[in-house]
Amino acid sequence: MVNGRGAEGQGSVGARFPRPETSEMNTKEMMVTEKKRTGILGVGKYLPEKVLTNADLEKMVDTSDEWIVTRTGIKERRIAAKDEAASDMAVKAARCALNNAGLKPEDIDLIIVATITPDMFFPSTACQVQHKLGIKKVPAFDISVACSGFIYGLAIADQFIKGGMYKRALVIASEKLSAITDWEDRSTCILFGDGAGAAVLSQVDKGGILGVNLGADGDKGDLLQLPAGGSRMPASKKTVEDKLHTIKMEGNTLFKHAVKIMADAALAVANPLGLKGDDIDLIIPHQANLRILNALAKRMGVDPAKKVYLNIEKYGNMSAASSAVALCEAVEEGRIKRGDTILMDAFGGGLTWGALIIKW
């Protein structure tokens, strides 16, 4: 697994995971044998240089640092340069992950990029990453499941590797949300930031992915969407004037669904494995909102100070990149050590969700 610094004294509150309240999620937990597990060989990240603080936002919209921190836990976020696209950030994160894995680009035979802010509709961001890394002819494709994208990407790569079709996969999550944010809408512009994270996956002898739970509920897709720019509402003067090419979100309703979705997804993958609170060394959730994450920890019966990794105050919500960057930083900071059991958990527009348990 990743050669990160070791963590000392991971705490536990000894709580058992409760059962999910309902069985609405029609997903399958994919359990694998000890002989053929997929593990992570290296992780990497890239964050743009520009920092946008809450004080900066106070000059742009009617808001305050206290209001933002109280409601979201966010203090600042990163903003990509005008000439910096999703593929540019993805390549930098990928090179970092490859270096940490001790591999070269030519060692990769599958590229998956999770993004809702691609450079363009086509060619895919993954194909552009392939070209920029100098990797020849290997399959490369994007997935669009919003904030759940990194976990979906890991799950897809796991299946390809476990099935023997490919040996080493590069999974990247890269988002330039600043490009689709309405900077006059104080309810959304305070939330989002830019960045990228990556992981190199391969078959491992010990540890690896123990289980995955994925799902979606398209009935609630209108809670978080980008209305214009696709085939249903092509770009026009009116769509631009009406700011329909920016993120639209029903925050209060989404909040209520988010806590239950993330908790149920986590329980759906943990319970079949017989795991309880004591068995999870660290939870790495999608960094959407601090109140959501604290509510998730309470629902699962774990101490957030000991069991939940947070970096939302520094970066805000980076959609799919949030989980990828958080995983990388948890390794860098020594919060994850070899043999730890890690739970990754996310929800996003769609609505989509994903939870994954991996032994490091």
Among residues 189, 213, 271, 286, the one annotated as catalytic is 286
Q: What are the residues facing 201 on neighbouring strands? A: 40, 169
- In angstroms, the Cα distances linking 193 to 66, 106, 117, 124 are 19, 31, 12, 22
Identify the DSSP state of 239.
H
CA-based nearest residue to 41, from 171, 207, 200, 206: 200
Give the Cα separation of 330 and 97 in Å (integer).
14
Among residues 54, 213, 289, 317, the one annotated as catalytic is 317
Give the Cα separation of 29 and 142 in Å (integer).
23
Known catalytic residue: 245?
Answer: no
Q: What are the residues facing 208 on neighbouring strands? A: 359
Burial class (CB in 10 A: 0-12, 13-18, 19+), 157: buried
Amino acid at 312: I
Q: Please identify which residue in the block is written with the tokens 């802010």.
A: 117
Known catalytic residue: 286?
Answer: yes
The torsion defined by the Cα of 157, 161, 163 and 166, in degrees rounded to 10, comes to 100
Known catalytic residue: 127?
Answer: no
Among residues 127, 147, 189, 328, the one annotated as catalytic is 147
The residues that are catalytic are 147, 286, 317
